[in-house]
Amino acid sequence: PPTPRPHACLTGGPVPRRLFASYPQTKTYFPHFDLHPGSAHLRTHGAKVVAALGDAVKSIDNISGALAKLSELHAYVLRVDPVNFKLLSHCLLVTVASHFPADFTADAHTAWDKFLSIVSCILTEKYR
Amino acid sequence: MVHFTAEEKAAVVNLWARVNVELVGGEVLGRLLVVYPWTQRFFDNFGNLSSESAIMGNPKVKAHGKKVLTSFGNAVKHMDDLRDIFAELSELHCDKMHVDPENFRLLGNVILIVLATHFSKEFTPQVQAAWQKLTTAVANALAHKYH
């Protein structure tokens, strides 16, 4: 299972900052946002994403159930191209790795990578 | 051809100067084989790859990891000439080793994650972005001669 207590390092914006810096094309999904670091938009949205991941962790044996509504939202409303889930997942991993260098062993890395790719799969599974 | 700004080059070179290529190379290749076990398909003759500790401690993995990262160091020295620098290696990976270029992208991302564990707060979004650009460019250069 993923290492505990990552939420502190995930809120506050390092993840979107990394995403937008490395993959500027991802900003196209947020034309209505103030994307300056620390903006209220980013903080609120970041908190939502982290909370959803937390839900998935709590229901790790039934992520499909936990994220069913979010899956529909992504399929019918947000329609974020599936490639972007890999980019976001990667930035999440980099953030966690930089905050917990000793804990983020190869096994932990594997578990997280697997977990995030399952989450990504579930969020895109209703696309067609 | 990819253009790197002076800041991007500085971010890359500055970090690279402090990388222990032997240590990090082994970690990078080891992590690739652990996190993406299907990549083990290229290393049937490496001996025991049955667990994380077996892989991370495997001397062949460490040696090969060092070789791969040393080659990457060449990219750091020639960031404006990546296609030329990797032309031969590209042909080799295609014709002799039959490696799907997707693996170059996977490896590039693992390099970044290992750098993040080593450099922590210093591995800022800007530094990461410069390195993302480099690893993407290297992956593309290595795929360039595929046919």
What are the domain boundaries of chain B?
6-143
pLDDT on residue A9: 72
Q: Under an 8 Å CB criterion, which residues of B touch A?
A: 30-31, 34-35, 52, 55-56, 109, 112-114, 116-121, 123, 125-126, 128-129, 132-133
Tokens 């490639």 correspond to: A83
Angle at B137 between CA A92 and CA A26, to 5 degrees: 40
Chain B CB contacts of A105 under 8 Å are 52
Name the residue range of residue A69's domain.
6-127
Q: Does domain B6-143 have CATH number 1.10.490.10?
A: yes
pLDDT on residue A14: 86
Residue A10 lies in a domain: yes
pLDDT on residue A18: 93
Residue A75 lies in a domain: yes
Q: Are B31 and A106 contacting, i.e. CB atoms less than 8 angstroms apart?
A: yes
pLDDT on residue B105: 95
Q: Are A104 and A97 contacting, i.e. CB atoms less than 8 angstroms apart?
A: yes
pLDDT on residue A6: 53
How does pLDDT run across B121-130, given as a tens digit for each residue?
A: 999 999 999 9
Residue A45 lies in a domain: yes
Residues in chain B predicted with pLDDT less than 70, given as ranges, are: none
Interface mutation target, options B113, B115, B119, B133, chain A, most CBs of A under 10 Å: B113
Chain B CB contacts of A110 under 8 Å are 34-35, 52
CA distances from B146 to A41, A47, B132 (A): 44, 43, 22
pLDDT on residue B39: 92
| Long-range pairs for B116-122: beta carbons < 8 A, 24 or more residues apart | B116/A94, B116/A95, B116/A97, B116/A98, B116/A101, B117/A97, B117/A98, B117/A101, B117/A104, B118/A101, B118/B19, B118/B24, B119/A98, B119/B15, B119/B18, B120/A98, B120/A99, B120/A101, B121/A98, B122/B15
Residue A1 lies in a domain: no
Q: Say if the Cβ atoms of A94 and B120 lie within 8 Å.
A: no
CATH code, A83: 1.10.490.10
Structure tokens given for B79: 């960031």
Residues in chain A predicted with pLDDT less than 50, given as ranges, are: none
Q: How far apart are CA B134 and CA B26, in angstroms?
A: 20
**Whose CA is closest to A42, among A57, A67, A21?**
A21
How does pLDDT run across B16-27, given as a tens digit for each residue?
A: 999 999 999 999
Q: What is the pTM of this model?
A: 0.85
pLDDT on residue A1: 54
Q: How far apart are CA A126 and CA A115, in angstroms?
A: 18
- Total tally of structural domains belonging to chain A: 1
Taking phi over 0 as left and psi of -120 to 50 as alpha, with beta for the rest, B120 belongs to: left
pLDDT on residue B84: 96
Residue A22 lies in a domain: yes
